[in-house]
Amino acid sequence: MKSAMKFEMMYKARMLSSKIIMKAMKHNETSHKAEVDEFLGELKHCRFEVGYYDKNKKPIYSEIGDVSRFDSDFYVKDMKCYTVTEDESEHLGVRYIVLKENDLADEIQALRIKIIGYLVLSFILMGIVGYFLGRLFLKPVREQIESLDRFISDTTHELNTPISAILMTIQSLKGVEPKKMKRLEASAKRLSVMYSSLTYRLEGKVEPSEVLCFPDIVKERVGYVKELIDSKRLHVELDLEATEVFMSRSSAHRLIDNLLSNAIKYSDVGDSIFITCKNSVLEVRDTGIGIDEKVQEDIFKRYNRANSERGGFGLGLNIVLSICKQYKIKIALDSKKGEGSTFILTFPKRKVS
């Protein structure tokens, strides 16, 4: 734009210079100053403001006002364009012809607005196209995920019947060595807890909440996995005070089951598990292998496992986090590698009516 402006203004300046030369050739040197001023004032100079200056750079006739420099044929100042054409012959006393253009800033601003408008329109168009292309390309992936979820759901439901049958059969067995019986029962209950974790993510049922005595739930679930605890010769210590919580019974079961399962899984033979419930705060502490600081932020993510050697699906702690979010329970972790882990759950205070 500046280049085009420069050539247009210089062309117009030369046209004016030619007219002045033609006028000077028709008049003698004794032409009155008033006649020269009148001629210059009436001289056609197109759309630009014009100024005529003598050899001392004093205005003979000018619409411009102050001109700061005469040493460049084209320059821009304050977003205004100037051209200076010098006539060394000084026809009619005119040494410099200066043109000034005032619309460059407005034209550049209009161009900016137009470019921004086109960019915004392009981004909107690309966004719309991208959205529909994304849906189109992701449709097969979504269908595969839904198909996989249905398969897992069907599989886990099929597992429920044999697991229940195994547990019932174990209870009716007689004449089996106690050690073997405990091993069978521990394995069956471990399968039952794993089944519960798998179905929790797939069922998505909304269950009614009720007021529960949480210490009773803790005792019940510890008793349920007693065989698992005994199989690793773990020492479990309970310190429970009366605490009421408002949540569904099955969610409370899953919360304790997954925290206990995690503590048992990551404890070595002969380690200890401490469970305390006081002042609406539940702590589940183990003296197991602990969790590396680097992976502590990721352990609540679905399918993430802190230690692949200990097995599992990476669902347990994600389920714990999900239940805590649902019932506004604050959860915190304190763990050091090689020293064990403590999960701290702070229940919201119940309003007494």
pLDDT in tens, the chain (353 residues): 888 888 888 888 888 888 888 888 876 654 567 777 788 878 866 788 898 898 888 888 888 878 888 888 888 888 788 889 988 888 888 889 999 888 777 778 888 899 999 999 999 999 999 999 988 888 888 888 777 777 766 666 666 666 677 777 776 676 677 777 777 777 777 777 767 766 665 665 667 888 989 899 999 888 888 888 888 889 999 999 988 899 988 889 889 988 988 888 888 888 999 999 988 899 999 998 888 888 777 788 776 666 655 555 567 788 889 889 989 999 998 988 888 899 999 998 876 55
Please report, for the chain, the start and end positions of each structural domain, with discontinuous segments joined by +: 2-102, 207-346
What radius of gyration do the chain's Cα atoms show? 44
Q: Contact 316/261 with Cβ under 8 angstroms?
A: yes
Give which of 218, 228, 165, 217 is closest to 193, Cα–Cα: 228
Residue with tokens 């005070």: 241
- 306 contact partners, CB below 8 Å, separation of at least 6: 266, 291, 292, 295, 299
Q: Contact 314/304 with Cβ under 8 angstroms?
A: yes
Q: Contact 82/6 with Cβ under 8 angstroms?
A: no
Q: What is the DSSP string of 8-40?
A: HHHHHHHHHHHHHHHHHHHS-TT--HHHHHHHH
Give the β-pairing of 59-62 and 74-77. unpaired
pTM over 0.75: no
Q: Contact 39/23 with Cβ under 8 angstroms?
A: yes
- CATH no. for 207-346: 3.30.565.10
Helix residue ranges per DSSP H, 173-292? 178-203, 214-224, 226-231, 249-265
Is residue 311 classed as helix, strand or coil in its secondary structure? coil
Beta bridge partners of 283: 276, 344
Beta bridge partners of 62: 51
Q: Please tell me the distance from the alpha carbon of residue 258 to that of residue 272, in angstroms, as a whole number.
A: 17
Is residue 238 classed as helix, strand or coil in its secondary structure? strand
Could you report the per-residue pLDDT of 78-127, keeping only the tens digit for each?
A: 878 888 998 888 888 888 999 988 877 777 888 889 999 999 999 999 99
Query: What's the CATH fold of domain 2-102?
Result: Beta-Lactamase (3.30.450)
Q: Amino acid identity, residue 183?
A: R
